[in-house]
Amino acid sequence: MKAYEKLIAHFKRISRFEHLSAICGWDQAAMMPSGGSDARAEAMAELHVHIHKLLTQPQIFDWLEEASDLDLSVDQQAELREIRRQWELSNILPESLVEAKSLAGAKCEHAWRTQRSENDWSGFAKNWKEVVALSQEEAQVRSEITGLSKYDAMMQLYEPGQSSMVLDTMFDDIKSWLPSLISDVMDKQASENMIAPKGQYSPQTQKKLGVDVMQLLGFDFNHGRLDESIHPFCGGVPSDVRITTRYNPDEFVQSLMGIVHETGHARYEQGLPKAFSGTPAGQARSMGIHESQSLFFEMQIGRNPLFLSHLSRMAQRHFSAENDPVFQAGNFTKIYTRVNRGLIRVDADEVTYPAHIILRYEIERDLINGDIHYQDVPELWDLKMTEYLGLSTKNNFRDGCMQDIHWTDGSFGYFPSYTLGAIYAAQFMAAMCKTVNVNNVIQNGNLSPIFNWLSDNIWSKGSLLKTNELISSATGENINITYFKRHLQNRYL
């Protein structure tokens, strides 16, 4: 067992540096003054290089070969598989490319913060050009080693085992029925009166409400915290989970549901198997599974009318608005299930959201495969936005191709995870309902049976199972898009 034990010790050491990197990333987004950007970029690049060196040390190969002949338990075999996968992914890239991409991404992301608000595509493109070039170089290297297409090779970083061929089939299916569903829902809701929030909702009060909601959702504040950033996210590590949201004093709607979403990510992290903490098998299975948990919290639970009744009462109390019609349960449900075509992905409802993801997937797939040029992106964005949602972004880069943070650091292959997550979440809910009376649980306000099911079937598995094995184990079948379509139709029509 000596080789196996050496591997575990080595990867636990790596995880400690990844811990530091995660907290530095959170600080960069939530706390760091703008003047610290250059120094932080250099420090994080140095840290990424150090982690890369640890992941590519030659003795790992010897340990893997020796451990493969050992009599290991099923879980230990899964651990060895995940260690080998991480080692192979890391060994593909030269150290110089890791450092160059980290520096270029940090520079691009920092400049994007002001360039987006100024609608400055030309300024953004100067930095992004290098990020795209380095990402294409990475994709080429990964493709040559794995035998996959360039985009599929990049996608393995986020969705192990997934392919663009499978995604193309699923997304073509969604595109065949989504436009008519959007139109039908909007026609149905046109006659429904909804009272929009009006007035001032202080960020301090919004945060207090958010904390109460996080407690209802079982967030462990001994191992995490809530902060504010330009772009909401969940970061940190399982023992120290950091989530952020953003507050608009003119309305509370986005920040509150953003907190519900990020709490889903956080509960998954906090629920990962403690016995495998700090090792590859103890990490989240994929970004799609990660998104399935945030979207389970936001869409399957958070926008359920019974849960919204709880939220409406909590919001009334915090905003001292017991008699305000905005906060009545029926109106609250209308607010959070309103469907509108919009330009901004993070503000999109769950019906139009897949269109935003498919648009980005198709562009990044063709960009990384070398079928389009980075300068083509604004025009393609406008064409696809017009086709899928009937909206134009011509010369509106701020609300078009510059609105997301993901491409600034070269996270190509990430976007499909969002809609994969929605598909997984709907399938998990359908399976859960076979053994848990979900509506009764939500109505009673004690959500423990829901969390227990998620813990038993998803969280505690970490990466011990491959993605398709995890889905099959939890639901009794392979990925099935039918549940997602049925969920949208049942809720909105």
> Residue 25's pLDDT is what?
92
Tens digits of residue pLDDT in 231-245: 789 999 999 999 999
Q: What is the pLDDT of residue 398?
A: 97
**Nearest Cα residue to 272 out of 290, 257, 254, 296:** 290
| pTM confidence score | 0.94
Amino acid at 122: S
- 208/75 Cα distance (integer angstroms): 41
The catalytic site residues sit at 262
Residue pLDDT, tens place only, 307-334: 999 999 999 999 999 899 999 999 999 9
Backbone angles phi, psi at 318, to 5 degrees: -70, -35
pLDDT in the model for residue 7: 97
Backbone angles phi, psi at 2, to 5 degrees: -60, -45
| Range list for CATH 1.10.1370.30 in the chain | 165-492
Q: For the chain, list residues with pLDDT below 70.
A: 1
* Predicted pLDDT of residue 346: 85
**Tokens matching residue 353:** 């959201």
Could you confirm whether domain 165-492 is CATH 1.10.1370.30? yes
Which among 97, 106, 104 is positioned nearest to 24, based on CA atoms?
106
- Give per-residue pLDDT as tens, 392-407: 999 999 999 999 999 9
Contacts 24+ apart (CB under 8 A), 337-340: 337/303, 337/305, 337/491, 337/492, 338/189, 338/194, 339/182, 339/185, 339/186, 339/189, 339/492, 340/186
The string of pLDDT tens digits covering residues 82-128 is: 999 999 998 998 889 988 999 999 999 989 999 999 999 999 999 99
